[in-house]
């Protein structure tokens, strides 16, 4: 028997209007064509609508005025390589007693600044060491929190390395009320950005607050309408950064408009370049000018063989064999531009923590000026280069 996610659905489109008076007309046209409104998308003055078949969409389009537009509800994929995740061999003590169906979390108190050892230990992944994050931990302001939005598969908010920094979450998926991560991808991304544990792993910035949107299902698939709803939710919570470790080769005016609205609010947008290979162009949203596009490198400072490249690349970051938090209090090693992007998001969290709020353009400029160009990589492979965090604080 098929579950709700597997049942065949109608054809879904995003419909935008210019004024509230158009809502009634839209409802009338939808009724006549056999369509219906699934949910409202206030950020774009639009609605996700469902039609029984293609000719119903055509019928609706013919009966709607030009100021009511119908666009595709684009499909998205996560930028991680396929394959079964495996546990990193014995770097951290085992964690037990974590339910796969946890209850709604209670909001923890803000944690105190962790006490880090003078020398980097085994609880710090190679990518975090490569960008120099441990060298500036003592310079971070424990009284200045940075709000990081993550649009992904959710989060394991009971993970001992993440629970202190988790603040709020939402699921924008149909028939999926919980934002608990049932895939692992979002939990992995969060760990790189801001895991906070003396016994487990430490992320780039342990002083972040996570605001998490579950817009991708357990198969790693997402839709534009769910992403739009998530961005709206994050904008209302005034996050400083949004990490987007997903991509699509297609775009439309609605998608570009949403990215511009978030940028205009002062949110720094970070996205994975895509995993289609070095001969493939950068995917969206990374290709948008208001988004920081991140390619992936390995531990030898070489371009990952899966990373997309192009003139839109802003920075490169570690994205091969990245160890981070996983489901049920565990850890996993994964590869993909998905895991390069959070290195940049975490770096930006450090900048905001150290200097205070800055305009996205200022942050991009500072990083570009201080980035190190890697000799083995071209401009289209690395953008401005690799950002080593200590250089940003000098």
Question: Mean pLDDT throughout 40-58?
Answer: 90
- 38: domain CATH number is 3.30.70.80
Looking at the structure, tell me whether residues 214 and 257 fall in a common domain.
Answer: yes
Distance CA(156)–CA(328), nearest Å, equals: 7
Count Cβ atoms within 10 A of the Cβ of residue 199 and give its class: 0-12 exposed, 13-18 middle, 19 or more buried.
exposed
Dist CA 255 CA 164 (whole Å)? 33
Is a pLDDT exceeding 50 seen at residue 112? no
Pick from 195, 31, 212, 226: nearest CA to 127: 195
Q: Does some domain include residue 124?
A: yes
Check whether residue 82 and residue 68 sit in a common domain.
no
In angstroms, the CA 72 to CA 230 distance is: 17
From the list 63, 62, 25, the residue with the least C-alpha distance to 47 is: 25
Task: Give yes or no for residue 198 having a pLDDT over 70.
Answer: yes
Considering the domain architecture, whether residues 60 and 134 belong to the same structural domain is answered as no
Last residue of one domain, picked from the residues 27, 54, 73:
73
Instruction: Tell me how far apart the alpha carbons of residues 373 and 224 are, in angstroms, rounded to a whole number.
Output: 34
Ranking 112-126, 213-227, 259-273, 314-328 by mean pLDDT, the lowest is 112-126
Which of 73, 99, 120 finishes a domain?
Answer: 73
- Say yes or no: 123 and 207 in one domain: yes
State the residue for tokens 């390589």: 81
Question: Residue 306 is part of which domain span?
Answer: 78-392
Residues 158 and 190 in one domain: yes
- Total number of domains constituting the chain: 2
Structure token pair of residue 26: 């839209």
Q: How far apart are CA 299 and CA 199, in angstroms?
A: 25
Contact between residue 157 and residue 169 where contact means Cβ atoms under 8 Å apart: yes
Exposure letters 144-168 (e unless 16+ CB within 10 A, then b): ebbbbbbbbbbbbbbbbbbbbbbbb
Give Cβ neighbours of residue 149 (< 8 Å, ≥ 6 apart): 211, 212, 213, 234, 237, 239, 241, 242, 243, 267
Catalytic positions, please?
152, 185, 338
C-alpha span between 292 and 26 (Å, rounded): 36
Q: Is the peptide bond before 285 cis (omega within 30 degrees of 0)?
A: yes
Q: Is residue 4 in some structural domain?
A: no
pLDDT score, position 86: 41
Q: The domain that contains 158 carries what CATH number? A: 3.40.50.200
The confidence score (pLDDT) of residue 58 equals 80
Q: Is residue 294 part of a domain?
A: yes
386 and 262 within one domain = yes
Tokens 């802003």 belong to residue: 314
Structure tokens at 226: 């769910």
Element housing 147 (H / E) = strand 146-152
Among candidate residues 321, 293, 291, 292, the one with its CA nearest the CA of residue 309: 293
The pair of structure tokens assigned to 325 is 């938090």
| Residue 1 placed within a domain | no
Residue 5 lies in a domain: no
Inform me whether the pLDDT recorded for 259 exceeds 80.
Answer: yes
- 133 occurs within a structural domain: yes
Please say if the pLDDT value at position 273 is more than 90. yes
Tokens in use for 265?
Answer: 């609010």
Using pLDDT thresholds of 50, 70 and 90, give the confidence band for residue 83. Answer: low
Same-domain check for residues 26 and 82: no
In the three-class reduction of DSSP (H, G, I as helix; E, B as strand; rest coil), residue 373 is classed as coil
Confidence (pLDDT) at 100: 39
**What local confidence, expressed as pLDDT, does residue 87 receive?**
41
User: Are 30 and 131 found together in one domain?
Assistant: no
pLDDT recorded at residue 113 = 44
**Do 147 and 270 belong together in one domain?**
yes
Mean pLDDT score of the chain: 89
Same domain, 240 and 320: yes
256 pLDDT above the threshold of 90: yes
Q: Find out whether 248 and 75 touch, Cβ atoms under 8 Å.
A: yes
If asked whether residues 54 and 90 sit together in one domain, one would say: no
Same structural domain for residues 58 and 88? no
| Token pair recorded at residue 82 | 């396929």
Last residue of a domain, one of 20, 49, 73: 73
């Amino acid at each position: 028997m098929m579950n709700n996610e597997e049942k065949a659905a109608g054809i879904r489109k995003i419909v935008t209007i210019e004024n509230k008076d158009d809502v009634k007309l839209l409802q009338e046209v939808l009724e006549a064509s056999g369509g219906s409104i699934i949910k409202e998308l206030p950020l774009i003055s639009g609605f996700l609508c469902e039609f029984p078949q293609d000719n119903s969409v055509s019928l609706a389009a013919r009966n709607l005025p030009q100021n009511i537009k119908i666009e595709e509800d684009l499909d998205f994929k996560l930028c991680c390589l396929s394959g079964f995740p495996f546990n990193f061999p014995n770097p951290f003590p085992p964690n037990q007693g974590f339910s796969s169906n946890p209850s709604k979390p209670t909001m923890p108190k803000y944690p105190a600044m962790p006490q880090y050892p003078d020398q980097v230990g085994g609880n710090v992944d190679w990518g975090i060491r490569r960008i120099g994050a441990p060298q500036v931990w003592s310079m971070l302001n424990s009284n200045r929190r940075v709000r990081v939005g993550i649009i992904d598969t959710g989060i394991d908010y009971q993970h001992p390395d993440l629970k202190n920094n988790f603040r709020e979450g939402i699921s924008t998926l149909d028939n999926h009320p919980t934002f608990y991560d049932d895939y692992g991808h979002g939990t992995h991304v969060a760990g790189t950005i801001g895991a906070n544990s003396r016994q487990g792993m430490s992320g780039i910035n342990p002083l972040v607050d996570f605001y998490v949107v579950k817009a991708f299902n357990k198969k790693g698939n997402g839709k534009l309408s769910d992403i739009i709803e998530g961005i709206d939710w994050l904008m209302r919570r005034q996050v400083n950064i949004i990490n987007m470790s997903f991509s699509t080769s297609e775009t439309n005016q609605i998608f570009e408009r949403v990215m511009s609205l978030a940028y205009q609010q002062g949110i720094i947008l970070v996205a994975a370049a895509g995993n289609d290979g070095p001969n493939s162009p950068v995917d969206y949203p990374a290709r948008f000018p208001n988004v920081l596009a991140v390619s992936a490198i390995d531990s030898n400072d070489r371009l990952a063989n899966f990373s997309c490249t192009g003139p839109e690349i802003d920075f490169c970051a570690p994205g091969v064999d990245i160890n981070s938090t996983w489901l049920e209090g565990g850890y996993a090693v994964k590869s993909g531009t998905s895991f390069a992007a959070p290195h940049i998001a975490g770096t930006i969290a450090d900048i905001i923590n150290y200097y205070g709020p800055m305009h996205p353009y200022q942050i991009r400029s500072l990083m570009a000026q201080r980035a190190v160009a890697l000799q083995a990589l071209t401009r289209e492979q690395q953008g401005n280069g690799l950002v080593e965090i200590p250089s940003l604080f000098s």
